[in-house]
Chains A and B, each alone.
Chain A
Amino acid sequence: MNLATFIQNILNSLTLGSLYALVAIGYTMVYGILRLINFAHSEIFMLGAYFVFWGITLVHLPWPVAMVLAILVTASLGVLVDQVAYRPLRDAPRISALISSIGVSFFLQNVAIVFFQAIPREVYRPQWLEDPILFHGVRVLPLTLFVPLLSLVLMLLLIYIVYRTKTGLGMRAISKDIETSYLMGVPVNRVIAITFGIGSALAAASGIMWALRYPQLQPIMGTIPGFKAFIAAVFGGIGSIQGAVIGGLTLGFIEIMTVAFFPDLAGYRDAFAFVLLILVLMVKPTGLLGERPEDKV
């Protein structure tokens, strides 16, 4: 492998890794606060991509406008899912909300099949993301710079919200002790709703960029990336935002680099993530940055 290909592979890994990371953040934030694996998250990812498609084909919006609007609509949808499917189960055993999330996942996927139809759709891609740039002899696809950079901006924004704002302080408090947060006057349900909104916005951004990278839309397109992002979150230590980012990037690198160095293994590409999951669960079940789960009194 020459240097040029190697650099291209690095950029591809960063692209795929940041797409996983954005989705993984949503899993990890919701888990951190509610101890709930939100399986409907993959469908949020898929819907974000579809909303851009419909914004462009039905309403003829310019691409950047369609993208921003789709992220906002998807974020609201994420909040709605929480209100309808999880909030009534807040005091129920945790498994109830988990089952509810599986139900929501199937529901959204089937709604998408009915309304958007199961046929794969072509995605519009702005030309400037397509034309390769030559940089010291290395051909670089602008998309592979755009995705990691936009993801970085979104993650910095998220870190600002979580560590520098009052709502973020509320989130961090709730993740440790809901009852005491409530006692201190934190509007717990509102903070949880905001958490779902943020997680869903990031998943939508990831879905939209995924559709630029692999330009085909299908109602089931969220399933595999969703599972992998979930594995990334577990690998990094579920509940930890930094862990989700590290997990997502690691998974991106493993997938791209294994195929790059061992092209024969390309067919097993999707299996790497699951092998990684099994290894993590055997060696360090709490993940890289995860805390030992405490029993809540």
Chain B
Amino acid sequence: MLEIRDLHVAYGGIQAVKGISIDVPTGRIVTLIGANGAGKTSTLRAISGLCKNRKGSISWNGKDLTGSDPVAIVKAGIVMSPEGRRIFPHLTVLENLQLGAYSRSDKDGIASDMTWVFDLFPRLSERRAQKGGTLSGGEQQMLAVGRALMSKPALVMLDEPSLGLAPLLVREVFDIIREINDKGMTVLLVEQNAHAALKIAHKAYVLETGRVTLSGTGEELIADERVRAAYLGG
């Protein structure tokens, strides 16, 4: 279980996150929805250790991670797949995946996870020797998710995994998220596509200008009038 209490994040004097508290129970899919600039990405960046200007507490299965750096956080079992995919275009698909496993040294475990990722994304298997930059947008997204999975995380944070994808691919991405979750991984999902995110989420938070304004189960929020008006197009 990931517990965030009173998290503050600032960038050069601008407060992006102003004291949010979030729980991500083990084995669940939790989503953060909200408009641009609501503080969703900043929250994920703070959890992953990228933002140094963070206050409040981040605890993971009882262990305090507030001051940890990204490497320690990956080792603790939390990985983030960043917004915009950020795959390495000059490395091959295989190398991108190997890079995801950088923090690990269990060769057999890495090999079996590689097989699993290739089963999950057969397209990547076909293109394993190709440079990441030559993949289509959808394939790059699959690679970004697969790369994150290669660290054998207990908690995967996905930042806008469906951004810029064709509707059919968006469905595929959400199916994959469910599949990952069925495998026992906890998912913290940030999405613009609020409807799809709420549909698969066990728990959801609405963020507005750096604060949590609403929370509940996915179903509750889909039914909520305010959420419908603001994020689900009425």
Contact = CB atoms under 8 A, between A and B. Distances in A.
Q: Do A and B come from one complex?
A: yes
Nearest to B85: A180
Nearest to B90: A176
A34 to B, nearest CB: 17
Contacts of A182: 50, 69-71
B99 A173 contact: yes
B116 interface: no
Given A169-B95, A179-B50, A184 B89 contact: no
Interface in A168-222: 169-170, 172-173, 176-177, 179-188
Contacts, number: 63
Contacts of A179: 50, 82, 86
Interface string B61-72: 000000001110
Given A179-B50, A182-B50, A183-B48, A169 B90 contact: no
Interface residues of B, number: 24
B102 A170 contact: yes
A36 to B, nearest CB: 20
Contacts of A183: 48, 50, 70, 74, 79-80, 82, 86
B117 to A, nearest CB: 14
Contact of B86 (A170, A177, A186, A187): A177
Contacts of A172: 88, 90-91, 95
A121 interface: no
B151 interface: yes
B103 interface: yes
Interface in A151-165: none
Contact of B74 (A170, A173, A184): A184
A183 B102 CA distance: 10
Interface string B99-117: 1101100000000000000
Nearest to A167: B102
Nearest to A187: B71
A184 B99 contact: yes
A284 interface: no
Contacts of A166: 98, 102
B86 A185 contact: no
Contacts of B98: 166, 169
Contact of B70 (A169, A176, A185): A185
Contacts of B71: 182, 185-188
B79 A181 contact: no
B131 to A, nearest CB: 12
A61 to B, nearest CB: 37
A15 B168 CA distance: 60
B90 A184 contact: no
A170 B151 CA distance: 14
A184 B143 CA distance: 13
Nearest to B80: A183
A169 B80 contact: no
Most chain B CB within 10 A, of A170, A173, A185, is at A185
A185 B82 contact: no
Interface in A83-129: none
Given A172-B91, A185-B151, A186-B71, A180 B86 contact: yes
B147 interface: yes
A185 B102 contact: yes
B75 interface: yes
Contact of B99 (A181, A187, A188): A181
B152 to A, nearest CB: 11
Contact of A169 (B69, B102, B151): B102
A174 to B, nearest CB: 10
A186 B104 CA distance: 10
Contacts of A173: 88, 91, 99
B50 A176 contact: no
Interface string B182-220: 000000000000000000000000000000000000000
Interface of B: 48, 50, 69-71, 74-75, 79-80, 82, 86, 88-91, 95, 98-100, 102-103, 147-148, 151
6 contacts: A172-B88, A173-B91, A183-B82, A185-B70, A185-B75, A185-B102
Given A185-B103, A186-B102, 20 more contacts: A169-B91, A169-B98, A170-B102, A172-B88, A172-B90, A172-B91, A176-B89, A180-B82, A182-B50, A182-B69, A182-B70, A183-B70, A183-B79, A183-B80, A184-B79, A184-B102, A184-B148, A185-B102, A185-B151, A186-B99
